[in-house]
Structure 1
Amino acid sequence: MSNEYVHRLQRRHFLLFDVLPILGTAVALALLAVRPITLVDLALLGAMWAITLMGVSVGYHRLFTHRSFTAAPLLGLVLTVCGSMAGQGGLVSWVALHRRHHERSDRDGDPHSPNLAGGGLAGRLRGLAHSHFLWMRRHEYPNVVHYAPDLIADRRLISVARHYHVWVVLGLALPALVGGLVEWSWYGAVTGLLWGGLVRMFVVEHLIWAINSFLHSFGRRSFRTRENSHNSGLLALLTFGESWHNNHHAFPESPSFGLRWYRLDPGIWTIRACAALGLASDLKTPSARRQATRYADLPAAEIPAADVAIAVAEERAS
C-alpha cells in the first residue's frame, strides 16, 4: 500500500517519535551544565529501557511476529503495552513490517535493507542511512490483512493495541511522575521525562535500528542464510539478545536468539522465567541436530569451534 494519506501518517510518526527523542536527548545533555545527572534519572533510564525493550523483543518480535512461544493472555496484553511504550509503531503495523522484512530480506521489497542502494562507498553510506533512520519517513505499508491476520482476529489483543498513542504517552508520563515524586520538584519531573522518556526512547530506537543497518552489513555469521544478517556479541545485553541476528534469521521461530548458554540473551531469560511462572509455554527452540545441519552450509573455517564441540556432544547424548 502506498498513498499520500499513509505517507502523511508516516511523516507525523517520524517527527513525533523518531526526531523528537533526538531533540529531547540534546536538551537532557544541555541541562547537565545546570545539574549533574542523578541516580534517580539513571534508574528511570535503566528501568524504562528494560521495560520497553522487553516489550519489543519478547512481545512484538518473538511472541507476536514469529509465534516462537505461547503466552498466557494477560502476559500478551502486558507485552503489548510495554512494546507500544517504546514508540516504534503500533503492534499490528510493526508485525506486518517485520514479517515483510523476513519475506523479502535484503531483496526488493525489504522496507529497510542497507544493501539495495548501489555499490561503492557512496552506496554503502546511503544504504546505512536509509536502513537505520530515513526509511521511516516514507515507505510502502504492507497489507496487514495479508501479513497479520492472526492479530486482527484477536479482539482482546486489538482492543489494547489500538490505543498505541495512549501507551506511548504513558511511557513518557510514568518516569516524569516518578521523578517528580521522588525529587518532590517540577525539575525532577522534567528530568524524569527527559531521561526516562525521551532519552530512553532515543537509546532503544537506535539500538534496534542498528540491527536493521549495521547487522545487515557487518559482524560474524554462525549460519549461512539467503540474506546478509550478522551477529554481534557486543550489543547482546543492550539489545535484549536481538543482536544475535544471523542466528535469528537462520531460525526465526526460535525464542532463543543466542541458541547457546554462553551467548547473552535476556529475551530468552525473560521467556523462561515466564514459563517457570506458568505464563509461557511451547518454546520452539531448534534441536542440536537441526542446528548442525545448518552448520554444514558454512565453510568449515567459519563455523565457531565452541558451537561445533557443543553440537557434537549434544548429538552423541541424544
Structure 2
Amino acid sequence: MTAGPEVVEKTPKSAESAPPPATLGGDSKRSVEQIALLLFIIVPFLALVAAVPLAWGWGVSWLDLGLLVAMYFIGCHGITIGFHRYFTHGSFKAKRPLRIALAIMGSLAVEGPLVRWVADHRRHHKFSDAEGDPHSPWRYGETVPALLKGLWWAHMAWMFDEEQTPQHKFAPDLIKDPAIRRISRQFVLWTSVSLLIPPLIGGLVTMSWWGAFTAFLWGSLVRVALLHHVTWSINSICHAVGKRPFKSRDRSGNVWWLAILSCGESWHNLHHADPTSARHGVLKGQLDSSARLIRWFEQLRWAYDVRWPNASRLDSRRQENGSRRKDKAAQAA
C-alpha cells in the first residue's frame, strides 16, 4: 500500500504492555464470535432460499422491501466507507462522531468484529494473490478445478480456517482506541440490534406478529445473506475476472454488474492499484455511491484530508496498451 494507517511489524514485547484484545477470542477464531458468525451465515442463507416460495404471491410487502433496501445500504456503506476505506486504508480522516457512527454501521452488516475485519483485509493487501493472502482464489493453482476450489475458498471457506491474523500486528491503531475496541468486542450485540430493527419496525407499523415475521425474514435474514454474498464476491469474483485498466501486483479486476450492490467496491482494480484512494470508480460511468457519501461528509466538514484521485496519479498507474489512450478520470464526485 502506498499510504494509510501504519502497520506495525513488531508485536508487543509483553502481554502486560498490550491493550486488551478487541475481539472476544483475541486472534483465535474458535470463539463465541466465530460461532455466532457461522450461525449468521447459515441462517440468513436458509432464509434466502425460503424467501423464494414466500414471495410467490404473498409474504412480502413494500414495507418489507423498504426495510431490506434501507438496512442493506446502511450496512453496506458501513463496510465500504467505514471498515474498508476509512479504518483499513485511511482514505480520509473523520471527526469523532462520524468515526463511531461508521464503526457501528459496519458492525450492522454482520461480517465479523471490526478489528478482525480490518486486520484480515490489511493482511490481504500485504500479500494480495500471493502466499499469505487469507482469501486469494488462486490459492490452489490456475487449472479450472483448482480455480473453482479457490473461488469457494475466497468466497467464504477462508473465514473458518484456523490460520490466525495477528491483530496487534495488523491493526494496532484500532486496538489502542478504547471506543473502537469496545465496539469491536460488541459484535454479537450489534448483530442482535441489526436483526431486531426490521421486525420491531414491521410489527409496530402493521400492529401484527405476521408483519414482524415478514419484516424479519426480508429486512433481517434475506438482507444479511444478500450483503454477505455481494461482499464476498469482491474477494472471489473480482480477483478472478474483470477488466484491469490499472497496474497492480495482483489479479484484481473491475466487475461492473456488482457496482451498485457493492456500493462501488467492485471497481476493484483501481483500489489495488491505489489502495488509499477514497474513490474506486474513477473512470467515466463508474458509479461509486461510497465516494459520493464521502464527498458529502467532506462538504459537511465531518470528514477531511480526503485522498481523492487526480489525473497525474491515475496516469502513472495505467496499463501500457500501445498508444496509451487516456480516458478522463471522473474526479468530481
What is the TM-score with the length of structure 1 in the denominator?
0.91
Cα pair 2:37 2:111 within 8 Å, conserved = no
Q: Match for residue 114 of structure 2?
A: 91
Cα pair 1:179 1:192 within 8 Å, conserved = yes
Q: CA deviation at 1:263?
A: 1.4
Spell out, residue by residue over 1:166-213, the C-alpha distance to the aligned partner (whole angstroms, 9 max, x if none).
111111100110111112110111111111111100111100111100
Cα distance in 2, alignment partners of residues 142 and 148 from structure 1 = 10
Q: Is the partner of 2:307 in helix, strand or coil? A: coil
Q: Match for residue 322 of structure 2?
A: 300
For the pair 1:6 / 2:24, whether they are aligned, the reply is no
Give the number of the structure whose residues are more often helix, by fraction: 1
Cα distance in 2, alignment partners of residues 263 and 184 from structure 1 = 42
Q: Match for residue 328 of structure 2?
A: 310
For the pair 1:248 / 2:266, whether they are aligned, the reply is no
Q: 1:60 aligns with which of 55, 60, 83?
A: 83
For the pair 1:119 / 2:142, whether they are aligned, the reply is yes
Q: Match for residue 126 of structure 2?
A: 103
Q: CA deviation at 1:310?
A: 2.1
Tell me which amino acid in the other structure corresponds to 1:128: L
For the pair 1:264 / 2:253, whether they are aligned, the reply is no
Q: Relative to structure 1, is the Cα distance of residues 163 and 143 closer, same or farther in structure 2, using a 3 angstrom cutoff?
A: same
1:189-208 paired onto structure 2 within 5 Å: 189-208=212-231
Moved more, 49-58 or 279-288: 279-288
Q: Relative to structure 1, is the Cα distance of residues 79 and 285 closer, same or farther in structure 2, using a 3 angstrom cutoff?
A: same
Q: CA deviation at 1:136?
A: 1.4
Q: CA deviation at 1:161?
A: 2.7
1:22-37 paired onto structure 2 within 5 Å: 22-33=45-56, 35-37=58-60
Moved more, 100-109 or 137-146: 137-146
Q: Match for residue 140 of structure 1?
A: 163
Spell out, residue by residue over 1:217-241, the C-alpha distance to the aligned partner (whole angstroms, 9 max, x if none).
0010111211000012221111000
1:213-292 paired onto structure 2 within 5 Å: 213-260=236-283, 262-292=285-315
Q: Match for residue 180 of structure 1?
A: 203
Q: 2:172 aligns with which of 149, 166, 177?
A: 149
Q: Is the partner of 1:157 in helix, strand or coil? A: helix
Cα pair 1:28 1:191 within 8 Å, conserved = no
Q: CA deviation at 1:309?
A: 4.0
Moved more, 57-66 or 114-123: 114-123
Q: Is the partner of 1:263 in helix, strand or coil? A: coil
Q: CA deviation at 1:262?
A: 2.9
What is the TM-score with the length of structure 2 in the denominator?
0.87
Q: Match for residue 12 of structure 2?
A: none
Cα pair 2:47 2:221 within 8 Å, conserved = yes
Identity of aligned residues (%): 40
Cα distance in 2, alignment partners of residues 171 and 219 from structure 1 = 33
Cα distance in 1, alignment partners of residues 274 and 142 from structure 2 = 29
Cα pair 1:88 1:205 within 8 Å, conserved = yes
**Backbone CA RMSD of aligned residues:** 2.2
Cα distance in 2, alignment partners of residues 32 and 170 from structure 1 = 25
Q: 2:44 aligns with which of 9, 18, 21?
A: 21
Spell out, residue by residue over 1:24-67, the C-alpha distance to the aligned partner (whole angstroms, 9 max, x if none).
22233333357242101110110001100010000000000000
Q: 1:209 aligns with which of 232, 235, 245?
A: 232
Moved more, 220-229 or 8-17: 8-17
